[in-house]
């Protein structure tokens, strides 16, 4: 038994302050209560067989079968895309060669952020700016499900470069989550109760009111926020796209981005979108640099074509516009869509419950557990090296795809 | 295997060869004197009527990193205008100003460039920027890490830490981020903007740290000299784009008191504020100053008339300029207590007074700064223009009648405000070889590239001699990278990876204690993970070439 330092690959915070005890490939966290980490470390690898048509097979045969499906398919989608930098590079290489489409598990919500940026841009900040500068933090509809330690590490912490005393924290949303409620005494706390539909109107009104004479503003909630903005030296607005009404979330995000732009006319403000499950940030960044476009890009025409609606996984499967879907998830057991009329491959962790339901299952290891890796943090700027800590021979996503592309 | 290039006309300023017909021999990717008696020449390439230069070196071009990716995200419409199909050996891609990674390599190689330096890598973004650069094939690469706005350094200066301690920190940053040098960007200004200061002149104080840009400039300039770094401090000064900023630029030259300093994209820092529009050329006075101060080198950051996108770590300036965004959208970001970034799309128009004068100012600088060894050809890609505009820019420098015809097309009032049409100087091929190869190699401390002498890496560009210099430079006959033909007649023959240049520098390990505490307490990251290890680069297929810090001409 020994203790090791560990960089956690299971969410986009990439906490690198974790200590684990290691005992014969079993791990226990020593200094963190993160539920995602705890859940992820509990998973036991009972077997590591590949499956073809639900039956156990060896990995080499499964990769050969994947290769022949790829060659036969006239329309292939890479879905899920729970992988690291190398895995994304390998996917893009094969997608370019076999003229495939790429989407991600979080595509439906994440593209709303993308659309807003493509239309209006924005003013953003990274986590240490949030931690060290932000004397006012506006939280919009945020839970701690995606990044459980975000508040503990970057908002509740007391030691800051700017020597911040008691920060202002405003929660805008229906119900204050317990983890904020329990800590509200640490802040000058306020709650603006709103549901997602009223949120759009509220932020629009807030934005308009910035330009108005303050004496003419009657709405108390808006008035109190305006007063707060005037006292703020450096404010930040955080939102979780997944928690917003998906029908109007792009409009809400655009209003937030425009509000931040307006606030910067007299003070400093910046925003951070909390959207990064299954490392969509990493996948999106690699796609941008290698192809010029974010997720939901097709290579069917020999060059990249990006369309946030056309290349949605759900739409492509529902409309049967693809012949083959290759799901990738090297981090967890998230449910995948299986349509019996579309050939389905899963490149996933060995404990995935749907491994026998797909045409081909190829087991892979997890970046940072079973092989060295690089991932990008939620704010797109910081990337971390992750090191192999487990000794079981599971291939990586890039190994599987590079092999499949070579056959 | 030995290759002989025979009968070519060679322009190799480092070895003082000016248009002499001479044979070159290549063995194992290097240039050799001549084969030994018992060695067989495997391949002879007859280059009669051809011009030979070393591969081009771009000292300042934004080819990777978070800011470039943000620009790609912001402008899908620009990428849709430039789509590239895959082929047996090439990957697909898109874009021009923020071209996707593989095609940056393909395009540079096709222009005869074999080394390009990304000049603005933030410390916190270094790892992913370098991994991104591993997807830029065919060219050697390197980076300069941005310091001068990071809270750790500003605190050291505020506390009046001794120069040795600052040198240790600078060396630690170079070593940890695997860079070739250090770039200053708007010293203290990006940090001051986080405290809502909107401008910061050379002697104004940053609100938080109560220190001036001058003090930052002085300590960092000294630091690189003390460390004998390959490249002197690379400076994007205060007040970028502000009319009248040439006065600040002159003061900056005085501030370093004769010490070596590279001023980058000086076109954006050469504005006076005279005339009806309070915007005029400061090129004449700046050129005069640079001519007198032999310690100063510069690159121009020429603008060319087209749609582009400006991408910079200078959040303060980019925010100030966001009103000019075309199309009307922009991104800024405050980044990790390091610095920031700003993305503002921009269309330079020849009928616009300011844009026209910016164009003329850049060319005035090229023509008025006398020593070609101290001025290098850049467009600050993509800020002034995409690097694909270099052939046209070379023609503007080499062909006065073409230049004057182009000058006649720009905004009339700008024409009246510029002396450009009176400048008779025309660059020759030897000068161009200095501007685009020999000069950058020398100032970057690269001894094995940028020339065609014995022992140099066989990075060679061969041009057909054509009267129209734009045509000549946009389509080299052949490009050889590390001894292999990678481009012939405008087509890529082979794709290989370039090297990655890093400076090797020592520091006193004691500095790590303080940095470790800073990382733990303020950044919430483990400082050991900040340090990029060689193994990580090798895992991504990056071959590093270490440059020793032994510069003895400072």
Give the C-alpha separation, B43 to B30, whole Å. 15
What residues does A56 pair with on adjacent strands? A51
Provide block-wise average pLDDT over 10 residues at a time, chain B (554 residues).
Answer: 97 98 98 94 96 98 98 98 97 97 98 98 98 98 98 98 98 98 98 97 96 98 98 97 97 98 98 96 98 98 98 97 97 98 98 98 98 98 98 98 98 98 98 98 97 98 97 98 97 97 97 97 95 96 96 88
Whole-number Å distance between alpha carbons of B377 and B302:
8
Residues of B in contact with A289 (CB under 8 A): 64, 68-69, 72, 100-101, 132, 135
Rounded distance, CA A299 to CA A97, Å? 9
pLDDT at A252 over 90: yes
Q: Please tell me the distance from the alpha carbon of residue A81 to that of residue A70, in angstroms, as a whole number.
A: 17
CA dist., res. A125 & res. A34, Å (int): 24
B101 contacts in A (CB within 8 Å)?
Answer: 289-290
User: Which one of B64, B131, B189 makes the best mutation probe of the A interface by having the most chain A beta carbons within 10 Å?
Assistant: B131
Distance CA B500, CA B407 (A): 40
pLDDT tens digits, A37-79:
999 999 888 889 999 999 999 999 999 999 999 999 999 999 9
Tokens read off for A232: 């703020």
What was the pLDDT predicted at A259?
A: 97
For residue A86, the chain B residues in CB contact (below 8 A) are 539-540
In angstroms, the separation between the Cα of residue A62 and the nearest Cα of chain B is 26
Residue of B nearest to A152 (CA): B524
> Cβ contacts (< 8 Å) between A120 and chain B: which residues?
329
Q: How far is A356 from chain B (nearest CA, A)?
A: 33
Please report the residues numbered 27 through 66 in chain B whose beta carbons come closer than 8 angstroms to any beta carbon of chain A.
64, 66
A172 CB-near residues (< 8 Å, 6+ apart): A138, A139, A140, A141, A191, A192, A194, A199, A202
The two three-digit tokens of residue B248, written as one number: 């600040």
Q: What is the mean pLDDT of residues A253-274?
A: 96
For residue B379, give every residue at least 6 positions away whose Cβ sits within 8 Å of its Cβ, in sequence order, or none.
B300, B301, B302, B303, B304, B385, B386, B387, B389, B390, B393
Contact of B405 with chain A, judged by CB distance below 8 Å, is answered with no
CB atoms B74 and A5 under 8 Å: no
For B377, phi then psi, to 5°, come to -85, 115
Number of A:B CB contacts under 8 A? Answer: 190
Query: Considering the domain B55-449, what is its CATH architecture?
Result: Alpha-Beta Barrel (3.20)
User: In 3-state terms, what secondary structure has residue B376?
Assistant: strand
**Residues in chain B closer than 8 A to A231 (CB atoms):** none
Chain A residues within an 8 Å CB radius of B318: none
**Pick from B173, B176, B181: nearest CA to B236:** B181
pLDDT at residue number A211: 85
State whether B131 and A124 contact (CB < 8 Å): no
The full 3-state SS of chain A, as one line of letters, equals CEEEEECCCCCCCCCCCEEEEEECCEEEECCCCCHHHHHHHHCCCCCCCEEECCEEECHHHHHHHHHHHHHHCCCEEEEEEECCHHHHHHHHHHHHHHCCEECCCCHHHHHHHHHHHHHHEEEEECHHHHHHHCCEEEEECCCCCCCCCHHHHHCCCCCCCCCCCCCEEEEEECCCCHHHHCCHHHCEEEEEECCHHHHHHHHHHHHHHHCCCHHHCCCHHHHHHHHHHHHCCEEEEEECHHHCCCCCHHHHHHHHHHHHHHHCCCCEEEEEECCCHHHHHHHHHHHHHHHCCCCCEECCCCCCEECCCCCCHHHHHHCCCCCEEEEEECCCCCCCCCCCCCEEEEEECCCCCCCCCCCEEEECCCECCCECEEEECCCCCCEEEECCCCCCCCCCHHHHHHHHHHC
Q: Which residues of A touch B98 (CB under 8 A)?
A: 292
Please say whether the dihedral angle defined by the alpha carbons of residues B458, B464, B465 and B467, taken in this order, is positive or negative: negative
Q: Which chain B residue has its CA at the smallest distance from A306's CA? A: B76
Is B195 at the interface with chain A, CB within 8 A?
Answer: yes
Structure tokens at A349: 């962790």
Tokens in use for A152? 């503990």
Domains in chain A and their CATH numbers? 47-106+278-406 (3.40.50.740), 110-275 (3.40.228.10)
pTM for the model stands at 0.97
Residue A1: predicted pLDDT:
84
Specify whether the CB–CB gap between B64 and B129 falls below 8 A.
Answer: yes
Number of other CB atoms surrounding residue A187 within 10 Å: 18
Question: A374 CB contacts (<8 Å, ≥6 apart)?
Answer: A84, A85, A86, A282, A383, A384, A385, A386, B127, B128, B131, B536
The alpha carbon torsion through B62, B64, B65, B67 (nearest 10 deg) reads: 50
**Considering only residues 292 to 351 of chain A, which have any Cβ-Cβ distance to chain B shorter than 8 Å?**
292-294, 299, 301-304, 306
Say how far apart CA B502 and CA B380 lie, in whole Å: 21
- CA dist A228 and A206 (Å) reads 12
Contact A180, A192 (CB under 8 A): no
**Chain A: residue nearest B520 by CA?**
A17
What pLDDT is recorded for position B267? 98
A291-321 CB burial, b ≥16 within 10 A, e <16: bbbbbbbbbbeebbbbebeebbbeebbeeee
Residue B509: CB atoms within 10 A of its CB come to 9
Q: Which residues of A191-211 are buried (b: 16+ CB within 10 A; e: fewer)?
A: bbebebeebbebbeebbebbe
Instruction: Say whether residue B534 is in contact with chain A using an 8 A CB cutoff.
Output: no
The pLDDT score that the predictor gives to residue A366 is 97
Burial class (CB in 10 A: 0-12, 13-18, 19+), A162: middle
Searching chain A, which residue's CA lies closest to the CA of residue B123?
A: A382
Residue B469 touches partner A, C-beta closer than 8 Å? no
Identify the bridge partners of residue A348 per DSSP, sorted by sequence position: A329, A363
User: Residue A218: what are its φ and ψ, rounded to 5°?
Assistant: -95, -35
Maximum Cα interatomic distance, chain A, rounded to a whole number of Å: 74
Put simply, the chain A residues between 90 and 129 with a CB less than 8 A from any chain B CB are: 93, 96-97, 114, 117-129
Ranking A111-125, A197-211, B68-82, B198-212 by mean pLDDT, the lowest is A197-211
Name the 3-class secondary structure at B282.
Answer: coil
Q: What is the pLDDT of residue A142?
A: 86
B86·A285 Cβ contact <8 A: no
Quick check: A196 pLDDT over 80? no
- Smallest CA–CA distance, residue A354 to chain B, in Å, is 32
Which residue ranges make up each domain of chain B? 55-449
Q: 């051809």: which residue's tokens?
A: B50
| Residues 6 or more apart whose Cβ sits within 8 Å of residue B346 | B307, B308, B309, B310, B324, B325, B326, B383
Can you read off the two tokens belonging to residue B489? 């007649």
User: Of A129, A292, A374, which has the smallest distance from its Cβ to B337's Cβ?
Assistant: A129
Give A144's pLDDT tier (boundaries 50, 70, 90): confident
Burial of B155 (0-12, 13-18, 19+ CB in 10 A): middle
Which B residues 307-326 touch A at CB under 8 Å? 319, 325
Q: Rounded mean pLDDT of chain B?
A: 97
CB of B110 closer than 8 Å to CB of B135: no
Instruction: Report the DSSP beta bridge partners of residue B503.
Output: B547
Q: Which residue has the tokens 């090798």?
A: B538
* Burial category of A2 from C-beta neighbours within 10 Å (exposed 0-12, middle 13-18, buried 19 and up): exposed
How many whole angstroms separate alpha carbon A287 and alpha carbon A303?
13
Distance from CA of B440 to the nearest CA of A (A): 26
Q: Which two tokens stand for residue B289?
A: 């100053």
Calpha distance A97→B273 (Å, rounded): 55
Measure Cα distances from B253 to B53, B78, B239, B288 in Å. 33, 38, 14, 12
Integer Cα distance of A221 and A172 in angstroms: 10
Residue given tokens 């919430």 in the structure block: B524
* Pairing outcome for strands B41-46 and B2-12: parallel
Contact A123 B332 (CB under 8 A): yes
- Quote the CA–CA distance of A339 and A341 in Å, as a whole number: 5
Q: What is the pLDDT of residue B237?
A: 97
């Amino acid at each position: 038994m020994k203790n090791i330092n560990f960089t956690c690959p299971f969410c986009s915070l990439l906490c690198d302050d974790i200590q684990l005890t290691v005992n014969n490939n079993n791990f226990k966290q020593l200094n963190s209560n993160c539920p995602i980490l705890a859940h992820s470390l509990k998973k036991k690898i009972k077997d590591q067989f590949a499956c073809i048509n639900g039956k156990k097979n060896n990995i080499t045969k499964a990769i050969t079968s994947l290769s022949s499906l790829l060659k036969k398919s006239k329309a292939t989608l890479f879905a899920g895309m729970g992988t690291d930098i190398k895995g994304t590079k390998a996917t893009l290489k094969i997608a370019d060669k076999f003229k495939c489409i790429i989407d991600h598990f979080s595509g439906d919500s994440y593209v709303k952020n993308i659309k807003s940026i493509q239309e209006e841009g924005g003013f953003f900040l990274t986590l240490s700016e949030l931690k060290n500068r932000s004397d006012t933090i506006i939280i919009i509809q945020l839970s701690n499900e995606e990044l459980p330690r975000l508040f503990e590490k970057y908002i509740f912490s007391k030691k800051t470069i700017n020597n911040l005393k008691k920060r202002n924290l405003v929660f805008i949303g229906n119900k204050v989550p317990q983890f904020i409620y329990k800590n509200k005494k640490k802040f000058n706390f306020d709650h603006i109760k709103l549901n997602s539909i009223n949120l759009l109107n509220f932020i629009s009104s807030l934005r308009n009111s910035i330009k108005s004479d303050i004496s003419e503003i009657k709405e108390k909630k808006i008035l109190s926020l305006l007063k707060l903005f005037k006292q703020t030296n450096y404010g930040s607005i955080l939102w979780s796209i997944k928690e917003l009404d998906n029908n109007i979330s792009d409009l809400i995000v655009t209003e937030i981005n425009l509000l931040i732009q307006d606030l910067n006319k007299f003070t400093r403000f910046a925003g951070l979108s909390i959207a990064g499950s299954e490392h969509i940030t990493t996948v999106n960044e690699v796609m941008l640099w290698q192809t010029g476009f974010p997720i939901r890009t097709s290579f069917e025409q020999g060059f990249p074509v990006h369309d946030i609606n056309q290349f949605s996984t759900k739409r492509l499967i529902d409309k049967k516009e693809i012949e083959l879907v290759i799901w990738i998830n090297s981090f967890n057991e998230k449910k995948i869509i299986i349509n019996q009329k579309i050939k389905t491959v899963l490149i996933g962790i060995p404990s995935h419950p749907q491994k026998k339901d797909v045409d081909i299952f190829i087991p892979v290891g997890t970046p940072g557990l079973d092989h060295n890796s690089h991932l990008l943090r939620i704010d797109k700027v910081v990337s971390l090296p992750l090191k192999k800590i487990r000794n079981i021979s599971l291939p990586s996503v890039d190994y599987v795809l590079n092999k499949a592309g070579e056959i | 295997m030995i290759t002989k290039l025979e009968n070519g006309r060679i322009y190799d300023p480092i070895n003082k060869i000016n248009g002499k017909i001479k044979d070159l021999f290549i063995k194992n990717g290097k240039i050799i004197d001549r084969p030994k008696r018992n060695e067989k020449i495997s391949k002879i390439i007859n280059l009669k009527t051809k011009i030979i230069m070393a591969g081009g070196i771009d000292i300042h071009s934004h080819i990777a990193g978070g800011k470039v990716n943000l620009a790609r995200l912001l402008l899908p419409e620009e990428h849709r205008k430039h789509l590239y199909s895959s082929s047996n050996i090439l990957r697909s891609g898109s874009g021009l100003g923020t071209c996707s990674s593989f095609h940056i390599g393909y395009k540079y190689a096709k222009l005869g460039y074999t080394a390009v330096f990304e000049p603005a890598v933030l410390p916190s973004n270094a790892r992913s920027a370098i991994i991104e650069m591993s997807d830029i094939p065919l060219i050697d690469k390197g980076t300069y890490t941005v310091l001068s706005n990071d809270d750790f350094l500003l605190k050291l200066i505020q506390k009046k830490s001794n120069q040795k301690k600052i040198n240790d920190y600078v060396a630690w940053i170079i070593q940890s981020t695997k860079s070739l040098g250090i770039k200053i960007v708007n010293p203290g200004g990006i940090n001051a903007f986080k405290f809502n200061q909107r401008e910061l002149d050379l002697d104004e104080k940053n609100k938080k740290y109560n220190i001036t840009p001058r003090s930052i400039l002085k300590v960092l300039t000294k630091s690189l000299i003390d460390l004998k770094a390959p490249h002197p401090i690379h400076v994007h000064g205060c007040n970028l784009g502000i009319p009248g900023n040439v006065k600040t630029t002159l003061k900056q030259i005085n501030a370093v008191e004769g010490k070596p300093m590279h001023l980058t994209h000086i076109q954006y820092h050469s504005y006076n504020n005279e005339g009806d529009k309070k915007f005029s050329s400061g090129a004449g006075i700046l050129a005069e100053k640079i001519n007198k101060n032999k310690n100063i080198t510069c690159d121009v950051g020429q603008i060319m008339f087209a749609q582009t996108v400006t991408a910079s770590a200078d959040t303060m300036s980019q925010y100030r300029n966001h009103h000019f965004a075309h199309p009307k959208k922009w991104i800024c970001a405050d980044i990790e207590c390091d610095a920031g970034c700003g993305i503002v799309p921009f269309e330079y128009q020849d009928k616009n007074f300011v844009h026209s004068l910016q164009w003329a100012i850049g060319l005035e600088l090229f023509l008025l700064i006398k020593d070609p060894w101290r001025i290098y050809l850049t467009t600050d890609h993509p800020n002034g223009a995409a690097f694909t505009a270099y052939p046209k820019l070379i023609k503007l420098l080499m062909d006065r009648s073409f230049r004057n015809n182009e000058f006649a097309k720009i905004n009339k009032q700008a024409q009246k405000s510029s002396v450009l049409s009176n400048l008779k100087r025309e660059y020759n091929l030897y000068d161009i070889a200095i501007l685009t190869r020999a000069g950058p190699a020398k100032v970057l401390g690269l001894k094995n590239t940028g020339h065609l002498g014995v022992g140099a890496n066989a990075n060679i560009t061969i041009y057909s001699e054509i009267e129209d210099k734009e045509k000549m430079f946009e389509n080299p006959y052949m490009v050889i990278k590390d001894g292999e033909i990678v481009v012939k007649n405008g087509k890529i023959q082979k794709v290989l990876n370039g090297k990655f240049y890093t400076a090797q520098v020592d520091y006193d390990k004691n500095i790590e204690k303080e940095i470790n505490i800073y990382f733990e307490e303020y950044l919430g990251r483990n400082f050991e993970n900040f340090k990029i290890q060689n193994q990580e680069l090798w895992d991504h297929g990056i071959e590093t070439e270490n440059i020793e810090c032994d510069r003895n001409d400072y």
